[in-house]
Amino acid sequence: VSVGILNARVLTPAGPLARASILTAGTGIASIMEGDAGEDMILRSRPLALVRADGRVLMPAFVDAHTHACWAGDRLDEWDARRRGTSYLDILKAGGGIMSTVRAVRAASVEELTALLLGRLNLMLREGTTTVEVKSGYGLDTATELKMLRAIAAAAADFPGTVVPTALLGHAIDPDFPGGADAFIDYTIRDTLPAVHAAFPGIAIDAYCERGAWNVGQCVRLFSAAKKLGHPFRVHADQFTSLGMAAAGLELGATSIDHLEAGTPADLAAIARSPSTFGVMLPICGLHMDGRYADGRAFLDASPSPAARLAVATNFNPGSAPSGSMPLAIATAVRHNGLTPHEAIAAATTAPARLLGFTDRGAIAPGMRADLIILRHADERMLVYELGLSPIGTVICAGRVIFDGPALQAGPS
Ligand SMILES: [Zn+2]
């Protein structure tokens, strides 16, 4: 299988090529050739499919490194309550929020969860995302966590792109657990973690560190136990309150520290300068909930190299971020996290690919996986400038054309 893409503005790690053509072979990128000569060579090689970019932007497909896209039920009543002034943390304390989704997920079958997730993954693919991390976390018990992880694996098997599962074992404290919070933490570490380890060895473990959820000491206990079993770990930290989890996560060797809306300048700089931990910002939360955003500008200004370890992700979930659109996430990151358009594109492609452990995607070069998108536009700044209309013209996943829409352009491009 081969696809020829003619005359695109190609975003490469070394900078944009004004006019180049690309040939894929199998699931990968075979060659990139500039100018008229490149176009001629690709036409002579008679690829099975031909896509004419006509000067539009060809770039790596998006890697969404933080989602909760596996869920059942909805939280529309909670949204009504929030618009009447009830706070997110008050809803959580009253047994709503995450707990309402936990009840719906416990009631759903693995087949229902798989079908719901697969529907969302295919919508995300149409918006240019070919690699998606998906967390469990709406179980709060061993059986339901395993059910969610099996649903994520089943959806992954039917998805043309790539799904990376994460076991979010520390999402909330189950208020109905006999013996209270301490007993629930013990149960998660002594029962759920070993069961997840047996069925999904090496999977990343995650926790939500916040007032009313898991505290720093409880997270450290979970991550230390996970590390002993050979699991990497990530942590939700500093969404509403800076509790010291960022520093503790760095010290323990977290793969990423995610959210950071309340992150202190010192913590942001420490993550940016660490040799291996990524920061992840989730601006759709601020857009949907409360107008609070992590300081991406401070993070990047403290980063020592241009290949910054900052990812922007959707956080797709039924409560705080009802969108799986990476174009919306990075358009918001440019407006509210202080990123430039090119920084936002890197934070949606190269950085999250490295965060998830991939060296074969997130950039356009020969030998890389042919996960590619062509924008409707000839200037990549339109990707973050235009709002609410899909900027994606063509999606190619593992060398297969998934979607090829009309080359409609709009606005000042
Ligand atoms: Zn999250």
Q: Which pLDDT tens digit goes with each residue over 387-406?
A: 999 999 999 999 999 999 86
pLDDT of 412 reads 44
- 315 Cα to the center of ligand 1, angstroms: 5
The pLDDT score that the predictor gives to residue 98 is 87
Q: What's the CA-to-centroid distance between 235 and ligand 1, angstroms?
A: 9
Q: Is the pLDDT of residue 69 over 70?
A: yes
- Is residue 89 pLDDT above 80, yes or no? no
| Rounded Cα distance, 308 and 302, in Å | 9
CA distances from 35 to 8, 9, 342 (A): 10, 11, 24
Percentage with pLDDT > 90 across the chain: 89
- The DSSP call for residue 279 is E
- Taking the centre of ligand 1 as the mean of its atom positions, its distance from the CA of residue 217, in whole angstroms, is 19
Residue pLDDT, tens place only, 137-167: 999 999 999 999 999 999 999 999 999 999 9
pLDDT for residue 134 is more than 50: yes
pLDDT (0 to 100) of residue 368: 98
Sorted by sequence, the CB contacts under 8 Å of residue 177 that are 6+ apart come out as 140, 183, 184, 187
Q: Sheet of 256-259: strands edge to edge?
A: 62-64, 129-135, 162-170, 204-208, 233-237, 256-259, 278-281, 310-312
Residue 411: predicted pLDDT: 45
User: 14: CA distance to ligand 1 center in Å?
Assistant: 32
Indicate if the pLDDT at residue 267 is higher than 60: yes
Q: Which pLDDT value is given to residue 408?
A: 56
Dist. CA 259 → ligand 1 center (Å): 8
In the structure, ligand 1 is a single-atom ion and the residues with CB under 5 Å from it are 315
* pLDDT over 50 (residue 4): yes
Q: How far is the CA of 385 from the centre of ligand 1 (A)?
A: 25
Mean pLDDT of 53-64: 97
Q: What spacing in Å lies between the alpha carbon of 379 and ligand 1's midpoint?
A: 31
Whole-number Å distance, alpha carbon 312 to ligand 1 midpoint, is 12
pLDDT recorded at residue 149: 98
Nearest to 60 by CA among 374, 366, 381, 310: 374
Span 98-131, pLDDT tens digits: 889 999 999 999 999 999 999 999 999 999 999 9
Distance 401 CA to ligand 1 centre (A): 31
- 113 by DSSP, 3-state: which? helix
How far, in Å, is the centroid of ligand 1 from the Cα of 137? 10
Residue 17 pLDDT more than 70?
Answer: yes
Distance (angstroms) between ligand 1 centre and the Cα of 76 equals 19
> Given a cut of 50, is residue 234 above it in pLDDT?
yes
Distance, CA 68 to ligand 1 centroid (Å)?
A: 6
Q: State the distance from the centre of ligand 1 to the C-alpha of 286, rounded, in angstroms.
A: 13
Give residue 90's pLDDT.
84
Is residue 217 scored above 50 in pLDDT? yes
Model confidence at 91, pLDDT cuts 50, 70, 90, reads confident
Distance 262 CA to ligand 1 centre (A): 15
Adjacent-strand bridge partners of 64:
132
pLDDT at 351: 97
pLDDT band per the 50, 70, 90 thresholds, residue 369:
very high
Tell which wins on pLDDT, 197 or 412.
197
Q: Is residue 347 scored above 80 in pLDDT?
A: yes
- What integer is the mean pLDDT of 296-321? 93
Please give the distance, rounded to the nearest whole angstrom, from the Cα atom of residue 316 to the centre of ligand 1: 8
The predicted pLDDT at position 413 comes to 42
Q: Give distance in angstroms: CA of 182 to centre of ligand 1.
A: 23
Distance CA 166, CA 144 (A): 14
60 Rama class: left (phi>0) / alpha (psi -120 to 50) / beta: beta
What pLDDT was estimated at residue 77?
87
**What whole-number distance in Å separates Cα of residue 208 and Cα of residue 233?**
12
Grouping H, G, I as helix, E, B as strand and the rest as coil, residue 313 is: coil
Distance 207 CA to ligand 1 centre (A): 9
C-alpha of residue 236 to centroid of ligand 1, in Å:
6
Output the average pLDDT for the chain: 95
